[in-house]
Amino acid sequence: MQKYKIITGCIVSVLMLATGVSFCQEEVPTGHITGVIYQEDGVTPRRNVTLEFQRVIRSDNNKKIEFEETYLSSTTGGDGIYVRKDLPVGEYMVQLKKGKRTVKLNKVDFFVRIYEDRTIQFSFTLLN
């Protein structure tokens, strides 16, 4: 009985290889974003600010914007630096949060495009 189970398993494996069936997930191209967030004086690093990245989906010839529900995030350390590696390639709306409060840059949200195998550097000063 054990002999038949081994042979059956081998046959299934050979068939999967022959037909190109794979259980491995396809790799998604990614990029990175990093920068420094400063306090109002433009010199002092701003710590514990969370950046939330929400992927943008454009449709109807870029007239309609929708957002994926999944948020990816990064939080600044004591040096004000944030790093978010391996963001899937695409466009993201970025929101800043200090605790539970959303912080706006010039009272608007900003968007960033992530490119494959590239690191975007984006630093800024918060005025509040």
Q: Which CATH class is domain 29-125?
A: mainly beta
How confident is the prediction along the chain (128 residues), in pLDDT tens digits per residue?
554 444 444 444 554 555 455 555 678 899 999 999 999 899 999 999 999 999 998 877 777 788 887 778 999 999 999 999 999 999 998 888 887 777 766 666 788 999 999 999 999 888 76
User: Mind spelling out the 3-state secondary structure of 31-82?
Assistant: EEEEEEEECCCCCCECCCEEEEEEEEEEECCCCEEEEEEEEEEEECCCCCEE
Separation CA 4–CA 114 (nearest Å): 51
CB 113 within 8 A of CB 29: no
The 10 Å CB-count burial string (b at 16+, else e) for 43-81 is eeebeebbbbbbbbeeeeeeeeeeeeeeeeebebeeebe
- Please give the pLDDT value at position 59: 78
- Please give the pLDDT value at position 112: 92
- Please give the pLDDT value at position 104: 65
The owner of tokens 């630096």 is: 81
Domain ranges in the chain?
Answer: 29-125
Report the alpha-carbon angle 95-101-106, nearest 5. 55
Phi/psi for 82 (5° steps) reads -120, 150
CB 18 within 8 A of CB 73: no
